[in-house]
Amino acid sequence: MIVITGSAGFIGSALAARLNEARFFDLVLVDDFQRPEKDANHAGLIFSEKVERSEFNAWLDANESQVQFVFHLGARTDTTEQDRGIFDALNLRYSQDVWQRCVRYGLPLVYASSAATYGGGEFGYQDSHEIVEKLKPLNPYGESKNDFDRWALAQCDRGNAPYFWAGLKFFNVFGPNEYHKGRMASVVFHTFNQVNATGGMKLFRSHRPDYTDGGQTRDFVYVKDLAEVCLFLMHHRKTESNGLYNLGSGKARTFLDLAHATFDAMGKPRNVSFIDTPEDIRDTYQYFTEADMSKLKSIGYDRPFASLEAAIEDYVHHYLNSGQRWTAPKP
């Protein structure tokens, strides 16, 4: 059995779909399945069992001998949420419980960290363990992810770690199955919907003199590339490769590049205007991120990542135009 927490969400359901494509069907889907807006993400998947998030620890205690791998992708991901208690419960303590059980039962673990741990990028974007203690995330979400990374590394120093583990610092992920995320969905998703509704797209204006409007950059990574890395790590699982890994495309691109690529994929004339960045996120808004991907490459991952334009074209043509999810292949 392969366990995927967060399996009703964006990345978890996408990974489950990729595992189905690779002929892995003995999946255990773990999530809070009480949110109907997520139902379509897992409705077409092939799996063995669904387990409610609140019951997972007890389930794993009873079924650990049947589990071969754990992908812990479940998390609270709202970067505008300010209630630290929510993040402590779901992103820190729950993750600690999963880690401890993987140690106890000898299970390999891949978990979701985040590029939000890097804060304003004062220490760069290298996935070095040496800088984790220094990082200053810009919001409670990023803090919770960095708190767990710090805790995990401390556990390793004490010899209390799964025999194989990897924490993946996801950069700006976009792609099919993100449709339920509302405000937190990708700019590609919002551009597609806004262009269809109005014929144009409004991007955030720059509030810094060193960046032009629309010139703010991110490392945008397609969810299909992310899933390929997860499969690689599942097969790789070498103890000497344990640690934190960046997971982006390795190339920063502007929001204007992204918007233009979406217009082009839709076959629509480019029409971009600018609005002020909302005040509730303006002070914590990142203007540049770019993953240093050398560490992942150093352990043998050599599959090329899709260009921004190619990824958006696939997303628009095969998913957004039809409203399709990425799900199990039809027999």
By annotation, the residues acting in catalysis are: 141, 181
Which residues are 109's β-sheet partners? Answer: 70, 165
Distance CA(225)–CA(249), nearest Å, equals 8
Query: Is residue 12 within 8 Å of 6, Cβ to Cβ?
Result: yes
